[in-house]
């Protein structure tokens, strides 16, 4: 029998109020149940918000360096448990274990970076126009925040949200994706071990409509930070907008890699393989379009097919495996539907395009690395996020056309150019409509000390990580201290200006 896990509310592990549960299974071997989790609904969410609300005054008034020390401690515990967590990630969501280690490392990096903010959290001091008056801005917590996270980075993305939210003095209701509740639970357990006060971080597991929506709808939640699809992001923004609730949304991507004729082709090919098929293409930063100059398109494409053919697909705990399964049956179907759409649209299927079957492939959701050639920018496979191991090769005749194609989707998360021409590189850095741009590297692999997020339908103008994190999880408060002992009216009682 698989172990049963509970919600974490007010410092206690509790079952859902209606007793419903769901299973988390291994996508490489679907008969393996990772655990049984609480299928929470509105009642559970309300309890979690009650607990977070009750814990807020105590946590807000805890000095920021002390708040940050819990995050630092969890960073150390992540380091201790890195291997076990990486393996759990592979079992629960399929990414190969080396990438699981990277995912946990990203959480460690975030702890390392953001716990120092406990001693910074910079405000501003500025001069006043009046004598004997002090003007400053300090950062205050938002209150209770709702954090809704995806399955593709089951440790890293929760840490991008939880760590800065805690350092800045917010209390939390955390709803992880239903596909990765075990990783989320393991992370929350580390906070319990670190002695985080009860109610500061609350975990409710379950499905979006049942356990996510009530978080968005509760008036006591001051901010929603969500990473997931643009469709769900739009719904969240609409609902939250009615309550004037802040939303930080990290949504889809259709990330282009431009390869110019002067590029180092070996390097570009290596980058393309990693960007397109790493994490089985299940990253919002995945390289899903390769925009390649016609002068080198044939050579590039032939070599890409050759190299992609030799990628080893399988269970990510087995040595040598480079590409794991898709997350679930639904995603397998979606990817396959897009492949059919691509064929109907007239793109040439150059590699893959099918579910992998036979032997241990039959136990999981495995899909062959897939390459489409002759893809036109108007095709759906060039416009819509597939979130699988499918890449579109799109030949172009010039840099200008490359940029036009690169910018032709509704998304704008990550982007990349391979060239040895420094002038072109700088033009691309300026011209690509994206929150993240790479030169001579693929579209994946952002580091946490810079802001993460995108433009257009990828988000709503916010950024995670880096210096943005503190800004996003706080409200600025402007404070004026008049120590003149008399009424001084701003804009009126000012001394004469120079004439
Ligand atoms: C995501 O796919 O949602 O930049 C996040 C990257 C990783 C994070 C991806 N550091 O590819």
| Mean of pLDDT values over 179-198 | 98
Beta strand ranges found along 161-220 (DSSP E): 171-176, 201-203
Residue 442: is its pLDDT beyond 90? yes
Tell me the pLDDT band of 499, cut-offs 50, 70 and 90: confident
Q: Which member of 284, 433, 464, 472 is catalytic?
A: 284
Whole-number pLDDT of residue 330? 97
Q: How confident is the model at residue 497 (pLDDT cuts 50, 70, 90)?
A: confident
Q: Which atom of ligand 1 is nearest to the CA of 106?
A: 10
Residue with tokens 């955390």: 174
* Residues contacting residue 193 through CB under 8 Å, at least 6 positions apart: 77
What is the band of 66 on the pLDDT scale with cuts at 50, 70, 90?
very high
Mean pLDDT of 209-227: 97
Per-residue model confidence (pLDDT) at position 248: 97
Domain 7-251+459-478: CATH superfamily is: Aldehyde Dehydrogenase; Chain A, domain 1 (3.40.605.10)
SS3 state at 178? coil
Q: Please write the tens of the pLDDT for every residue from 203-217.
A: 999 999 999 999 999
Asked if residue 259 lies in contact with residue 393, where contact means CB atoms within 8 angstroms, the answer is: no
Q: How many angstroms does the Cα of residue 136 sit away from the middle of ligand 1?
A: 36
In angstroms, what is the span from residue 404 Cα to ligand 1's centroid? Answer: 24
What CATH fold (topology level) applies to the domain 255-439? Aldehyde Dehydrogenase; Chain A, domain 2 (3.40.309)
pLDDT category at 496 given cuts 50, 70, 90 is confident
Whole-model pTM: value is 0.97
- 464 catalytic? Reply is no
Can you tell me the distance from the alpha carbon of 479 to that of 483, in angstroms, rounded to the nearest whole number?
13
Residue 60's Cβ-count burial label (10 Å; 0-12, 13-18, 19+) is middle
Whole-number Cα distances in Å, 252 to 453, 458, 473: 10, 5, 22
Ligand 1 pocket, CB under 6 A: 106, 152-153, 227, 283-285, 444-446
Alpha carbons 254 and 356: distance in angstroms, whole number: 24
Token match 């590039």: residue? Answer: 300
Mean pLDDT of 267-279: 98
Q: Whose CA is nearest to atom 2 of ligand 1?
A: 283
With CA atoms as reference, report the closest residue to 453 among 290, 205, 239, 251.
Answer: 251
All CATH 3.40.605.10 domain ranges of the chain, comma separated, are: 7-251+459-478
- Alpha-carbon Rg for the chain, nearest whole angstrom, is 24
pLDDT of amino acid 89: 98
The secondary structure of 340-378 as a DSSP string is HHHHHHT-EEEE--SB--SGGGGGTT-B--EEEES--TT
Q: Report, as an integer, the average pLDDT of 373-397.
A: 97
Residue 475 CA to residue 140 CA, distance in Å, equals: 5
* Average pLDDT rounded to a whole number, residues 66-91: 98
Average pLDDT, the chain: 97
93, 149, 153, best to mutate for ligand 1 pocket (most atoms within 8 Å of CB):
153
Q: Distance between CA 327 and CA 333 in Å, rounded?
A: 11
pLDDT band at 23; cut points 50, 70, 90:
very high
Kindly tell me the burial class for residue 4, based on how many C-beta atoms sit within 10 Å of its own C-beta (0-12, 13-18, 19 or more). exposed
Q: Over 90: is that where the pLDDT of 483 sits?
A: yes
- Across the range 62-69, mean pLDDT stands at 98
CA distance 351 to 385: 19
- Please write the tens of the pLDDT for every residue from 307-366: 999 999 999 999 999 999 999 999 999 999 999 999 999 999 999 999 999 999 999 999
The secondary structure of residue 410, as a DSSP letter, is S
pLDDT mean over 61-82: 98
Average pLDDT over residues 453-475: 96
pLDDT at 204: 98
User: Is 284 a catalytic site residue?
Assistant: yes
At residue 313, the pLDDT reads 98
- How many CA atoms lie less than 13 Å away from 225 in the CB half-sphere? 29
Ligand 1 atom at minimum distance from 150 CA = 3
Query: Distance between CA atoms of 19 and 119, rounded to whole angstroms?
Result: 43
pLDDT tier at 1 (50, 70, 90 boundaries)?
confident
Percent of the chain topping pLDDT 90: 98
How big, in percent rounded to 5, are the helix, strand and coil portions of the chain?
40, 25, 35
């Amino acid at each position: 029998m698989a172990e049963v896990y509970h919600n974490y509310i007010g410092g206690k592990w509790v079952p859902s109020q209606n007793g419903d549960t769901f299973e988390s299974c291994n996508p490489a071997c679907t008969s393996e149940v990772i655990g049984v989790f609480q299928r929470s609904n509105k009642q559970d969410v309300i309890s979690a918000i009650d607990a977070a609300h009750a814990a807020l005054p105590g946590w807000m008034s805890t000095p920021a360096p002390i708040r940050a020390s819990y995050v630092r401690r969890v960073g150390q515990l992540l380091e201790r448990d890195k291997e076990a967590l990486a393996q759990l990630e592979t079992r629960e969501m399929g990414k190969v274990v080396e990438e699981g280690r990277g995912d946990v490392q990203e959480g460690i990096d975030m702890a390392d970076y953001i716990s120092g903010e406990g001693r910074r959290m910079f405000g501003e001091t500025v001069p006043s126009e009046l004598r004997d008056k002090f003007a400053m801005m300090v950062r205050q917590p938002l209150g209770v925040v709702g954090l809704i996270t995806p399955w593709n980075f089951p440790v890293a993305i929760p840490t991008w949200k939880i760590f800065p939210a805690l350092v800045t003095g917010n209390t939390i209701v955390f709803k992880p994706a239903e596909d990765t509740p075990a990783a989320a639970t393991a992370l929350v357990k580390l906070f319990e071990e670190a002695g985080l006060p009860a109610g500061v971080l609350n975990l409710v597991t379950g499905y979006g409509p049942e356990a996510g929506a009530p978080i968005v709808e509760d008036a006591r939640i001051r901010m929603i930070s969500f990473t997931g699809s643009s469709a769900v992001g739009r719904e969240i923004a609409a609902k939250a907008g009615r309550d004037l609730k802040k939303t930080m949304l990290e949504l889809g991507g259709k990330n282009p890699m431009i390869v110019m004729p002067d590029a180092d082709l070996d390097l570009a090919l290596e980058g393309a393989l990693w960007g397109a098929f790493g994490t089985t293409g299940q990253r919002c930063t995945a390289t899903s379009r390769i925009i390649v100059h016609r002068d080198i398109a044939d050579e590039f494409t032939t070599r890409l097919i050759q190299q992609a053919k030799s990628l080893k697909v399988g269970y990510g705990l087995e040595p040598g495996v480079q590409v794991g399964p898709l997350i679930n049956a639904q995603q397998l179907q979606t990817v396959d539907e897009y492949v059919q759409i691509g064929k109907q649209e007239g793109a040439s299927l150059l590699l893959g395009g099918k579910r992998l079957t036979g032997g241990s492939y039959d136990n999981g959701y495995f899909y062959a690395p897939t390459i489409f050639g002759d893809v036109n920018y108007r095709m759906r496979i060039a416009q819509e996020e597939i979130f699988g191991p499918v890449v579109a090769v799109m030949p172009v005749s010039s840099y200008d056309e490359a940029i036009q194609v690169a910018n032709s989707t509704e998304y704008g998360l990550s982007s990349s150019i391979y060239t040895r021409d420094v002038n072109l590189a700088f033009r691309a850095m300026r011209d690509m409509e994206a929150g993240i741009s790479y030169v001579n590297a693929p579209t994946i692999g952002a580091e946490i000390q810079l802001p993460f997020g995108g433009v257009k339908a990828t988000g709503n103008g916010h950024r995670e990580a880096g210096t943005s994190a503190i800004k996003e999880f706080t409200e600025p408060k402007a404070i004026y201290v008049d120590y003149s002992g008399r009424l001084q009216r701003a804009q009126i009682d000012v001394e004469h200006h120079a004439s």
